[in-house]
A = this chain, B = another copy of it.
Amino acid sequence: MGNASPTDGPVHEALAGLALVDHHCHGVATADLAPESFESLITEGDAWPDSGITPFDSPVGVAIRRHCAPVLGLPRHAPAAGYVARRAELGWREVNRRFVSGAGTGAFCLDTGYAPDAVTTPAELAASAGGAAAVYEVVRLESVAEAVAAAGVEPDEYAPTFLAAAREAVERRGAVAVKSVAAYRTGFDLDPRRPSDAEVTEAARRWLAAGSRGGRLHDPVLMRHLLWTAVDLGLPLQLHTGFGDSDIRMHRVDPTHLTDWLHLTSGTIPVMLLHCWPYQRQAAYLATVFAQVYLDVGLTLHYVGPSRARAILEEALEITPFRKLLYSSDAYGVAEFYHLGALAFRRGLASLLQERVDEDELSLPDAVRIATWTACDNARRVYRLPEHD
């Protein structure tokens, strides 16, 4: 077989014993899910109910039936229909508990700013994890900006009000990072310079005049201003990069479009490139040449599944300094993604490292060190988390 015994060896054992830091994730549903709802949560597309195409018939669907069914007491490769029924039978609390606690995560950095569905609060997620895990919050800046607009603000007060609201959210929630979804709103081919006060006021005037007190933020000047506000806040900035739903214009979210901005903000805040696929090599390049850049391949790992996770990690690690790759699940909506993300990451990374040890390209102590950094230490270092939770 191409990747030989993918679950054996000392590196596998080391990774199995590590409590992960999942540095970017979301809440999961707090309701029993009807089949259509479950299916709509396991695709970055829509569920296409009339198309005869189900998201179960995709790599992530196959991975759920293979690796999640047994967690619910079903046989491996259980049919999709039985799977969703069994989920309902157990009830969402038990389902969440099994998958979240089974992931072996020691700390979660939770983006609470995206929740079109009813999802777990930080406390509920911690409870699902069995209480042994810490949950830290990440403040999504677009949500803060949109709340500022919705509450009503004068254009020339937008910038200071947004900054103050972001600061307040960070402090109130004890957040360890902020996040931007600029990728979804404008892409990264933005003017890298900090906009002037006058430019921000003028852009805010246009936005706030556009109806419903702002609505969705996608003005390019205000997005640049948002990224520079992140610099002012001083916390690590998580940036959605690459893969996502159809709101993405993929060619505009190649993270190397950020190069000039990274030069201008060098020496300020850590920049965490999330997901990255299919630009994992471009992200790795940035993490190699900019001290402040880090990356993960969250979201990607569960969508490609354990069979393909190693190939993605190989590309993500081709040239990357080992202190620059982090783990995240980017789970949202279904707790299965906590389980699958952790499984795909552990198995993919262990397989890659163990093979290099077996070929004597890497020493075993080095392999274990790299595993530990990637699984948890790099995140603890960047987000200044306690050494253990």
Contacts and interface: CB of A to CB of B under 8 A. Distances in A.
A58 B249 contact: no
Interface in A268-315: 277-278, 281-282, 285, 288-291, 300, 303-308, 311-312, 314
A322 B57 contact: yes
Contacts of A1: 4, 355, 358-359
Contacts of A55: 321
A289 B322 contact: no
10 contacts: A43-B288, A45-B291, A55-B321, A57-B321, A243-B319, A245-B289, A251-B254, A251-B256, A251-B282, A278-B285
A362 interface: yes
B45 A289 contact: yes
A381 B52 CA distance: 10
A113 interface: no
A356 B77 CA distance: 12
A282 B278 contact: yes
A323 B57 contact: yes
A76 B360 contact: yes
Contacts of A324: 53
Contacts of A48: 291
Interface of chain A, main secondary structure: loop
Nearest to A277: B281
Interface residues of A, number: 74
Interface stretch (A14-22, A59-67, A215-223): A59-67
Contact of A77 (B76, B278, B355, B363): B363
A196 interface: no
A171 interface: no
Nearest to A278: B281
A43 to B, nearest CB: 7
A318 interface: yes
Given A6-B359, A243-B319, 15 more contacts: A2-B4, A2-B355, A45-B289, A53-B324, A55-B321, A58-B321, A59-B317, A59-B320, A248-B289, A249-B260, A277-B281, A278-B285, A304-B319, A307-B361, A312-B318
